[in-house]
Structure 1
Amino acid sequence: MPPRARVSRSRLALPLVADGEPAAPSPGRPKPKKAAPRSRTLSAEALEQLGARRLAELLMAQAQGDAALARTLRLALAGMDGSGRLATEVEKRLRTIGRSRGFIEWDKLRPLARELDGLRETIAGSLAAADPRAAVAQMRLLLGLTGNVFERSDDGSGALGEVFRQAGADLGRLWALLPGRDPLMLAREVLALWDADGYGETDRLLEAAAPALGSEGRAELRRLLETRLAAQPRSRKSDAFEGWQGRFQISFRLRDLADLEGDVGGYIAAVEAGGRAENFACDVAERLIARGRPEEALGWLSRPSDRQESEAIRRTDLRIAALEALGRHEEAQALRWDAFGRWLTPQHLRPYLRGLPDFDDVEAEEQAMAHALAHADRDLALSFLTGWPRLDAANRLVRVHHEEMDGRDYGRLRPAAEALAERYPAAATLLHRALAEDVLRRASSRQYTYAVRDIRSCISLAPLLPTEPGFESHEVFLARLRREHGRKAGFWALLEDGS
């Protein structure tokens, strides 16, 4: 066999030039492609390289068709001419908005919110740094636009409301910049702003204004509120609605003031003065526990309340905290177990188990799982078992009780199906089927995409399904679905699309 020809490495390598770099390729060889120039990332540093003149030209060209940008540029130029010119430009724009009367369409709401927020930032920033008094005046003017703007719009997104609430907080902070401010006058100003508040724009005012008010201003504000409260007539009916400017509203402001000063006694007095004090038992108890007064907290929590079920868990948690603070551990444990039995809440079961002696927790956990399996609310039980997690128990629950589960409860059933899919594909399939069939039974065409997603999950799990009596195979299930819902063309079109 002839020996292999030996190829010298020197024939495979490119010849080197003097500096060690490869020599240029011969004319017969294709030239290597040049690397494409990297695109510049848009950033302040990159734009700076264009130079001031080029940037100015680009901005002017864009401002010709962008009124918002043009106004921003005029404000920036006005700021270079001193606070007087800037204040004039800001006021001019605010008064123009205030004079408007037309309805603000939905697509104009966010641009208006952005503009008002930009004006707010200008007032609270550059104008406040140069002239705090002018900034206070302009922020007050901006806050005064609230009624006009909301009466002409439907702020479903909450964007406008957030701008005005922030403006209220900014106004409170700006007061602290005023030299020689009068705390008593500021207290009266706070009260006037509260009286004019129709949309919650002063929700953050008091906390922000606390440094400017000082102890003297806060005391004056309390005196004004208490004087007004004393002048309010008491209703003969205990359940009468007193109105926004009545006793309840005044007591609400007094509660905020008491919270600001950490005055639990003042908070309780305000609650009792406003009427229906029992409905604020949790708020009072929370503050009493924080101040080391758990016995009093329990007294408040024992008051009957007409609040809805949603308040019951909070009331239970506060009662547990008070009992633990008093060293009544066994009572707190009993309350945790009762709470778990009612709501299947992990936040009650976990500390209950941790509080048990060694080895007792294992038996107690099994009792908890058995209780969950027998719970009347099957969806709640499933959510608890998959979240704990005890997937074996969740599987048993689904296999026995899947027909009792609510297919509309996708917030619980779909995460449970995903959690069970790997180890218990049959249970996961039953949940996906329940979700899809509920959508089809209700003919909810807007939810067909979700039903399709569930059916596709069934398809992926189909090879893993058991062959056992009473369990529909995927083919049988799909055939039944076509018989019962064959006329729902929109659903079938979505399912077949991309299948």
Structure 2
Amino acid sequence: MVQAKDDAALARTLRLALAGTDGAGRLATEVEKRLRTIGRSRGFIEWDKVRPLARELDSLRETIAGPLAKTDPRAAVAQMRLLLGLADNVFERSDDGSGMLGEVFRQAGAELGRLWALLPQPDPVALAGEVLALWDADGYGETDRLLEAAGPALGPEGRAELRRLLEARLAALPRSRKPDAFESWHGRGQIAFRLRDLADLEGDVDAYIAAAEAGGRAENFASDIAERLIAHGRSGEALAWLDRAPERHEGEEVRQADLRIAAFDALGRHEEAQALRWEAFRRWLTPQHLRPYLRALPGFDDMEAEDRAVAHAMAHPDRNLALSFLAGWPNLGAADRLVRAHHGEMDGRDYGRLRPAAEALAERYPAAATLLHRTLAEDVLRRASSRQYPYAVRDVQACAGLAPLLPAEPGFENHDVFLARLRREHGRKAGFWALLESRG
């Protein structure tokens, strides 16, 4: 109690703990009092106050879902509903760059759905209307997990009512004169989104397809539809949907290739699956396609095919991608040859690939590792990216650690010559040199 005088958060925690010993009535009163106080607040929540607020809201959520729900489920539902209703107020007064507040509210939405199942004789039809009302009020995604959590409480009757309500709304919307026009989030697209979620909850792939078609431009969901059709043993239909898929970014194209491979395998069309695995590897240098391709080859054909894959990677125009594949496969000998021959063509900004490759090569191929660390450091200095100077210093220090292992061969700078060149070319970047010297 003495400590709580100077610690408001601790004082609130103690009040809740003590209220819990006096029964559900007092606990619910204390929770509601705090929630309403937060809801009445209007001041902006500074960045350093976001984390404490998120922790407090999460603690209130746990109190409602735990002690209060055990003794009074109805009160727990009411308080969780009140907590969820704070979302607009809190988000409008803060910058949730960390995502902590969003996670608390999404979890509260899921808890509300689970709490409904604890109510004595819940009314599924009324709950369907409540779900729809919460969706309508959702401005920040706080109900993203509500439907799945509410599945047991809704049951078949509640899900059927929710479908009826959504389909009635859809039917009442005016048809756009431009079928391909973008629909607002509060229009046809939003309702179709909810219907797709409901179809997933029921495991009904045909309902999912109907929802996608009702929203317009169903081909935009071709991959999602194909994935569900494959899972339901309807791979032929899945391939037809994939044929309708529009061109997308590389990540989506990889996903579509994976779905086609799964469909071919399910249909027993293994040669087509193998051909697509090889084509996918050739295009993206993806180990997840090459490994099953090699495993499916007969006899010793896999060794020849692996050599062919490595040769293809060595000749790939994206040197960074090729290096990442070779270092991760791993074929460090080939990675060494690639770096020694083409390090000048590598993009030093791609530290996510170059630095792990340098670390993988360091023990057996110190020269290649050194060239990569130099590429990374010199790129930072060329761009005068002062925020990245600490990383450049780390790379130069890595070069110093590898220096005793470097080969004495013509054309290969030793570490002293490398540092001297850096001084000539980047001597005015005082921040870098000061940092390097301080860490020397």
After TM superposition, the score normalised by the length of structure 2 is: 0.98
Aligned equivalent of 2:2: 61
Describe how 1:408-447 pairs up with structure 2 within 5 A: 408-447=349-388
1:262 pairs with 2:194? no
Q: 1:429-471, CA deviations, whole angstroms, 9 ceiling, x for partnerless residues? A: 1111111110111111111111111111111222222222222
1:143 pairs with 2:75? no
Q: 1:174-221, CA deviations, whole angstroms, 9 ceiling, x for partnerless residues? A: 111111221111100100000000011111111111111111011000
Aligned equivalent of 2:35: 94
The one of 407, 431, 434 equivalent to 1:493 is 434
1:383 pairs with 2:334? no
Aligned equivalent of 1:174: 115
Q: 1:131-150, CA deviations, whole angstroms, 9 ceiling, x for partnerless residues? A: 11111111111111111111
Aligned equivalent of 1:160: 101
Query: 1:307, CA displacement in angstroms?
Result: 2.8
Q: Is the 8 A contact 2:223 2:245 kept in 1?
A: no
Aligned equivalent of 2:138: 197
Distance in 2, Cα, partners of 1:118 & 1:336: 49
1:335 pairs with 2:276? yes
Q: 1:100-144, CA deviations, whole angstroms, 9 ceiling, x for partnerless residues? A: 111111111111111111111111111111111111111111111
Query: 1:324, CA displacement in angstroms?
Result: 0.5
Aligned equivalent of 2:125: 184
The one of 156, 171, 181 equivalent to 1:230 is 171
Residues 1:281 and 1:304: Cα distance change in structure 2 (over 3 Å): closer
Query: 1:306, CA displacement in angstroms?
Result: 4.1
The one of 40, 65, 75 equivalent to 1:124 is 65
Give the aligned residue type for 2:173: Q
Aligned equivalent of 1:468: 409
Distance in 1, Cα, partners of 2:116 & 2:410: 78
Distance in 1, Cα, partners of 2:352 & 2:250: 20
Larger radius of gyration: 1
Distance in 2, Cα, partners of 1:498 & 1:291: 59
Give the aligned residue type for 2:98: S
Aligned equivalent of 1:279: 220
Aligned equivalent of 2:299: 358
Q: Is the 8 A contact 2:73 2:119 kept in 1?
A: yes
What's the RMSD between the two structures over aligned residues?
1.1
Distance in 2, Cα, partners of 1:498 & 1:250: 58
Aligned equivalent of 1:12: none
Q: Is the 8 A contact 1:183 1:214 kept in 2?
A: yes
Aligned equivalent of 1:26: none
Distance in 1, Cα, partners of 2:404 & 2:116: 71
The one of 275, 279, 297 equivalent to 2:238 is 297
SS of 1:427's equivalent in the other structure is helix
Distance in 1, Cα, partners of 2:350 & 2:151: 46
Distance in 1, Cα, partners of 2:107 & 2:417: 60
Q: Is the 8 A contact 1:87 1:135 kept in 2?
A: yes
SS of 2:435's equivalent in the other structure is helix
SS of 1:467's equivalent in the other structure is coil
Q: Is the 8 A contact 2:362 2:369 kept in 1?
A: yes
SS of 1:179's equivalent in the other structure is coil
Q: Is the 8 A contact 1:279 1:307 kept in 2?
A: no
Distance in 1, Cα, partners of 2:119 & 2:363: 66
Query: 1:415, CA displacement in angstroms?
Result: 1.0
Give the aligned residue type for 2:68: L
SS of 2:203's equivalent in the other structure is coil
Q: Is the 8 A contact 1:279 1:306 kept in 2?
A: no
SS of 1:472's equivalent in the other structure is coil
Distance in 2, Cα, partners of 1:88 & 1:472: 74
Higher relative contact order (CA 8 A, sep 6+): 2
1:210 pairs with 2:157? no
Distance in 2, Cα, partners of 1:431 & 1:348: 27
SS of 2:349's equivalent in the other structure is coil
Greater shift, 419-428 or 288-297, is seen at 419-428
Q: Is the 8 A contact 2:196 2:211 kept in 1?
A: yes
Give the aligned residue type for 2:340: R
Q: Is the 8 A contact 2:222 2:245 kept in 1?
A: no
Note the residue ranges of structure 1 that are not aligned, 5 or more in a row: 1-59
Q: Is the 8 A contact 1:432 1:454 kept in 2?
A: yes
Note the residue ranges of structure 2 that are not aligned, 5 or more in a row: none
Give the aligned residue type for 1:340: F
Greater shift, 107-116 or 400-409, is seen at 107-116
Paired-residue identity, %: 82
1:458 pairs with 2:407? no
Structure ranking higher in helix proportion: 2
The one of 225, 234, 247 equivalent to 2:188 is 247
Aligned equivalent of 2:418: 477
Distance in 1, Cα, partners of 2:106 & 2:384: 43
SS of 2:244's equivalent in the other structure is coil
After TM superposition, the score normalised by the length of structure 1 is: 0.87
**Equivalent pairs, count:** 440
Q: Is the 8 A contact 1:378 1:401 kept in 2?
A: yes
Distance in 1, Cα, partners of 2:15 & 2:438: 54
The list of structure 1 runs, each at least 4 consecutive aligned residues, that deviate by more than 6 angstroms after superposition, is none
Q: 1:341-397, CA deviations, whole angstroms, 9 ceiling, x for partnerless residues? A: 000000111111111111111111111111000000000000000111111111111
SS of 1:302's equivalent in the other structure is helix
